[in-house]
Chains A and B, each alone.
Chain A
């Protein structure tokens, strides 16, 4: 089910410090939106607000609304929100105590997505194929993920997230610590998930090249304020503010 995720005047404080000063953006289904901005601009805070993970921090305070297909996610149980909005983190973090198979199967099992063992196997294979990991792990599904490389473990994290068939997928600099080959595979997965499966993909990235390669839209944040937003093509070719131009030319971190 393709889903719209709309952010309306979102303001976030951590303790006394205001991190986000009113973000307004509509993330569209079947597209990839790159959230960009210098370090400390509030990108991760925005992402963590979208699935309410920010609430794990007792210091966090949120104002404004986030609408998932028109329904405010703060009016739904947080764990139900997160069933529909998956996330991949910057550090690969497959669960170390269970097998590769169980890492992917855990979500579908908990949410009752598979009625039979066969259905569960199919979901696991589907998720691993979509993450371009299947061929590398199909003979060691029941081994723990410890021996996989960093890039493989990140693709496993991706497989785990998409196995519950989320409508929205959040990625927090997923390739920041990953080599180019693995980065390419993850980028291909992301694009395919958006194009073929209608997933609303929101990608926090530091690299303008990556944004240009995979995103349809760019949301540029600076010091917690939305500086620019629009189609990737037009923003990359002629950024309307100097700030974005500087950032793309690598003159601002």
Chain B
């Protein structure tokens, strides 16, 4: 009897190992392909890859993705600067007034926002911003990204607030703090790592999302554009658009941009680990 139990245990262990390996295989494949093809493209393009606009389609040269890098930076900055404060205060509100009717409505609204395909958010911003302003702009893209990140960041930060032990909040109230003071000085302070992690989720959404940009920023990549009022480019958009063309040099640019994007997101992640670690110490 004992032998079959041992055998079952072994079988399950091996099964778990094999299945988890299956889970990371696609990721490994992606990292290796993007690393290999991207590095090859960037090496062939040279330093100009980071300073120049793309070469014309079908050209022998790859050119660069500078407009996309600049645009992605502007988009990330603008969208997190608007999205994260809104998410933070929404989360504080939901946490402090959790059982009120209004909080329940907001929560239901956020949850459905989480399920809305991001391309619809792009179309929404197209109709409320791009059409009335008569033009694509980085600003419109940032608004779309902010809307997309809002539910993710809010839910994450609210969860961080909920995990703050009640005893700290009680200590704050017992010290004569008002509700707002407890929220800002105690709950927010104790949960600061979770808040930061939520902000980073927002930042990586801002870097990686493609669909919200399709109808908003215009994909203008003839030169570097950092003016939010003007149309611009972004890395995921460039990858999507270049990959759907038949031109070999644009395919190379897309591979190179994929590697830059991947490295950027990884950098943000490592940086955040460092910041979170320091705050923690």
A86/B190 in contact, CB under 8 A = no
Give the number of chain A interface residues (Cβ < 8 Å): 28
> Is chain B's interface secondary structure helix, strand, loop, or mixed overall?
helix
A84 vs B172: C-alpha distance when bound (angstroms): 14
**A/B interface sample: 25 pairs, CB < 8 A:** A51-B174, A53-B173, A56-B170, A58-B99, A78-B173, A79-B173, A79-B176, A82-B176, A86-B175, A87-B171, A89-B167, A89-B171, A89-B174, A91-B167, A94-B171, A95-B168, A96-B190, A97-B190, A106-B175, A107-B175, A110-B177, A157-B171, A160-B175, A164-B175, A164-B176
Which B residues from 144 to 175 make CB contacts under 8 A with A?
165, 167-175
Q: Mark B184-222, 1 if CB is under 8 A from A, else 0.
A: 011001101000000000000000000000000000000
A21 vs B175: C-alpha distance when bound (angstroms): 28
A53/B190 in contact, CB under 8 A = no
Which A residues from 35 to 81 make CB contacts under 8 A with B?
51, 53, 56, 58, 78-80
Is there a chain B Cβ closer than 8 Å to A111's Cβ? yes
CB nearest to B181 among chain A residues? A110
Known: A82-B177, A96-B190. 4 other contacts (CB 8 A): A56-B169, A82-B176, A106-B185, A164-B176
| A-B contacts at CB below 8 angstroms, number | 64
B168/A82 in contact, CB under 8 A = no
A161/B181 in contact, CB under 8 A = no
Is there a chain A Cβ closer than 8 Å to B244's Cβ? no
Is there a chain B Cβ closer than 8 Å to A98's Cβ? yes
A82/B173 in contact, CB under 8 A = yes
CB nearest to B170 among chain A residues? A53
Contacting residues, chain B, for A18 (C-beta < 8 A): none
CB nearest to A96 among chain B residues? B190
CB nearest to A52 among chain B residues? B173
Residues of A whose CB lies within 8 Å of any CB of B are 51, 53, 56, 58, 78-80, 82-84, 86-87, 89, 91, 93-98, 106-107, 110-111, 157, 160-161, 164
B177/A95 in contact, CB under 8 A = no
A93/B176 in contact, CB under 8 A = no
Contacting residues, chain B, for A160 (C-beta < 8 A): 171, 175
For A110, give its contact among B170, B173, B174, B176 (CB under 8 Å): B176
Contacting residues, chain A, for B168 (C-beta < 8 A): 93, 95-96
B192/A97 in contact, CB under 8 A = yes
Determine which residue in A78, A110, A111, A164 has the highest number of CB atoms from chain B within 10 A of its CB, and name it: A110
Contacting residues, chain A, for B176 (C-beta < 8 A): 79-80, 82-84, 107, 110-111, 164
A93/B190 in contact, CB under 8 A = no
A231 to B: closest C-beta gap in Å = 29
A74 to B: closest C-beta gap in Å = 16
Is there a chain A Cβ closer than 8 Å to B178's Cβ? yes
